[in-house]
Amino acid sequence: MLMYLKSLPWSVIITGVAVTIYILLFFSWFYQKKTIHRLKYRARANQRFHIATSVAGLGVWEWDIKQDVLVWNPYLYQLYGMGKKETLTVDEWKTKLKQSDAFCIEQLREMAGNAQQKVIRLTIPEYGNRKPKIIELLACGVPGEPQRLIGTQRDISEAISIQQAMKQAAFEDKLTGLCNSRALTQRLQITLAEPPKNLSFGLMFIDLDGFKQINDTLGHDAGDELLQCAAKRMRSCMRLEDEVFRLGGDEFVIWIQLEGERGLQAEAYKARLDLIAAKLKQTLTQAFVLNGKTCFISASIGIACYPMDACNEQALLKYADIAMYRAKQTGKNQFIYYSDIHRESANSYTESAVNTA
């Protein structure tokens, strides 16, 4: 081969070398062009990805557990109110969270290397003018990579606020701002599902005497105003631990907490309820001024107690309702205990049995 090359003219050899160099340079240029194209394509793809995740409100993160450093997309730095860093440590991340969340972060280490997913909620506390935020974090282990976690984060504060507002609307009477019948049912069901040992409370079923006449005479606007004013007066008679519910129309139920008094005599808890019922009667019989006209109402109140009268939701409400109707039928503007009605019925039965005998 070498002898063959020596036999060739220098011009041929130089031409061959030049062609070879040209071909090498061409392929090098072509490879570089393809590489640059791929890099530009990848950069544009990353840019589109970052824009899409930012617009969608989605933060993408990666955790190198061995080095204990994080890689965040730009949206996460913005979410946490931090300037972008070349290296972000987990400890720096924890300083932006509620202290109790640090333990949740540490627990994620156990997922590394496993095909697992876990969703946790983190809280960014209020700082300066920044409102607190609730973050939903999704963490994923990567099979075969025991030192790596990837995942997403998103701000769900607004979604939770909307859910809470919807829940409040579902359990709130729009006219008076009081809790509604659904809220009463839920509280009774939850409380009586596993009642505390010394639980004791009274339910006052209230019907406003004279409301219908005022509503029919002065109109529904005046009737609505009357209900709003009456609700405020009832609420003003209650302690913080008591609650007023509007069932609908002019009917209300008041939950009177008697915690710790279960072992007392009937006269003791009745004295407490008597005091509140008398206060309600007094405040509701005071004059209301509606559309420039002075109006008067009163209240018929029926009272049933847990656990003295009944131990379930339906019976308690039914007995309080029965007592309220007895108060309305026997003169209005008064309060009657279901236990008194029950006692009267028992006495009447006894007398009837004696007379029959």
Cα angle 62-65-69, degrees, rounded to a multiple of 5: 60
> Which residue bears the tokens 């205990």?
337
Nearest to 75 by CA among 42, 43, 105, 51: 51
Nearest to 173 by CA among 254, 245, 236, 250: 245
Strand partners, 1: none
Active-site residue 250, yes or no?
A: yes
Rounded Cα distance, 190 and 96, in Å: 37
Rounded Cα distance, 182 and 190, in Å: 12
User: Which uninterrupted H or E stretch holds 221?
Assistant: helix 220-236
From 101, 250, 309, 321, the catalytic residue: 250
Cα angle 245-254-249, degrees, rounded to a multiple of 5: 45
- The DSSP 8-state label assigned to residue 50 in this structure reads H
> Please, is 149 exposed, middle or buried when counting C-beta atoms within 10 Å of its C-beta (0-12, 13-18, 19+)?
buried
Tokens read off for 323: 């007592």
Rounded Cα distance, 156 and 119, in Å: 13
Q: Cα dihedral angle (332, 337, 338, 342), rounded to 10 degrees?
A: -100
Count the neighbouring beta carbons within 10 Å of the beta carbon of residue 61: 19
How do strand 251-257 and strand 133-141 relate by DSSP bridges? unpaired
Known catalytic residues are 250
